[in-house]
Chains A and B, each alone.
Chain A
Amino acid sequence: MPTTYEPIATTTLGSATNQVDFTGISGSYTDLILVIEGLASGGTNYPYFRVGNGSIDTGTNYSRTYILGDGSSASSGRDSNTSTPTLAEFLTTSRSIITIQFQNYSNTTTYKTMIVRTSGASNKVEANVTLWRSTSAINQIRLAVSSNNFASGSTFTLYGIKAA
């Protein structure tokens, strides 16, 4: 019986880094889920992610709409035509979680929609939907930061989910 939920790759950082890539992602799944847990190093970091087919798309082909709460107020906003669809920041002393769901990631017909949840108990909780305006299949994912790093010990795991 084929496995429905399968780990594709996992990385536990042995040292601080500003970028983690997943490449050569098989197109044999239906959806992907990326789970990130950890800390920032060198100061609060400001992560973002990008995707691509054969190479990472660094163009302004992303947009997102978000809702967030920081413990005292709630807000919503959006970014259009961005090259760095952002994720809520990681802190250096309080661990955070990011999950990104990539629905129907390998089809070559539609633009790609991702559902992002960030949980930072000491800074903010956020949900957003991100759109990559490309009909190409996703076979590369990049997590990066615009300043500081992901801390050593942070984990990044990619899972594949198969429909029946």
Chain B
Amino acid sequence: MATTYEAIATVTVGAGGAATFGFTSIPATFTDLLILASVRSDRPSNSIDNGWVYFNSDTTSGNYTKRRLWGDGSAVYSATTYDLDYYCPGSTATASTFGNLYYYIPNYAGSNNKSFSVDSSQENNATIAINNFTAGLWSSSSAITSITFDLNNGSFVQHSNATLYGIKNS
């Protein structure tokens, strides 16, 4: 029987860090994609950074729609920022602490616009930490063949990593 849940690739940021990292040449042979990631930013003088994922090298703002819900331990908020899916620790966060990211992308290889779901956490054992849910839509009929992680303020530090899984519905 074909494997339903299969690891496609793992990428890990090496020494020196990286401004972006991700996956290319994603095969169209699965139904859905799942990404589990662990990331940290070198954003200076800040315990929190934020970032997003873009597809097929498309960074056009008008092609992304987002609804985001997050809480920081004292309040909850909602917003629609096109290039913000997740939060992660910055340089002044508790050492050795990485944020967790979960991306689910159903029907990624089809000809409809691509919806996706993001859960992220950035617990820091400090006064501010963020739990976040994001609903995303990439308005493109193209199959997703590449996925890029990006940050809005810093770069990814060494040991940031992500694993891409393919899920088959039959």
* Chain B residue with the shortest CB-CB distance to A4: B5
Give A25 to B67 CA distance when docked, in angstroms: 34
The residue that A119 contacts in the complex, of B1, B70, B134, B169, with Cβ under 8 A, is B134
Within 8 A of B (CB), among A50-85: 67-74, 76
B4 touching A5, Cβ below 8 Å: yes
* A97-B106, A122-B65, A122-B67 as given contacts; A37 in contact with B115, CB under 8 Å: yes
- State whether B67 touches A37 (Cβ < 8 A): no
One of A15-23, A139-147, A151-159 at the interface:
A151-159
B30 CB, nearest partner CB in chain A, Å: 11
By a CB distance below 8 angstroms, the chain A residues around B32 are 35
**CB of B35, distance to nearest CB on chain A (Å):** 14
Q: How far is B77's CA from A70's CA once the two chains are assembled, in angstroms?
A: 10
Contact A35 B106 (CB under 8 A): yes
Kindly name the residue among B1, B5, B70, B107 whose own CB sees the greatest number of chain A CB atoms within 10 A. B107
A interface, how many residues as a size bin? 35 or more
Task: Please give me the residue from chain B that is nearest to A70 by CB atom.
Answer: B78
CA of A159 to CA of B65 in the docked complex: distance in angstroms?
A: 28
B 60-109 contacts with A by CB, 8 A: 65-71, 76-80, 104, 106-107
B67/A67 in contact, CB under 8 A? no
The listed residue (A119, A127, A157) touching B116 by CB distance below 8 A is A119
**Chain A residues in 8 Å Cβ range of B5:** 4-5
Is the Cβ of A125 less than 8 Å from the Cβ of B170? Answer: no
Let me know if A10 is at the binding interface, CB within 8 A.
Answer: yes
In contact, B78 and A95 (Cβ under 8 angstroms): no
| Contact of A7 with B170 in the complex, beta carbons under 8 Å | yes
Q: How far does the Cβ of A34 sit from chain B's closest Cβ, in whole Å? A: 11
Instruction: Please list 21 pairs of residues, one from A and one from B, whose beta carbons are closer than 8 Å in the complex, sorted by A's number.
Output: A5-B167, A7-B168, A7-B170, A72-B78, A72-B80, A74-B77, A76-B76, A94-B113, A97-B106, A97-B135, A118-B135, A119-B117, A119-B135, A119-B136, A120-B135, A121-B135, A122-B65, A122-B137, A123-B67, A125-B67, A153-B112
The 8 A-B pairs with the shortest beta carbon distances in the complex, nearest first, are: A69-B78, A69-B69, A119-B135, A121-B137, A119-B117, A74-B76, A5-B5, A125-B135
> Which A residues are closer than 8 A to B by beta carbons?
3-7, 10, 35, 37, 67-74, 76, 94-97, 99, 117-127, 153, 155, 157, 159
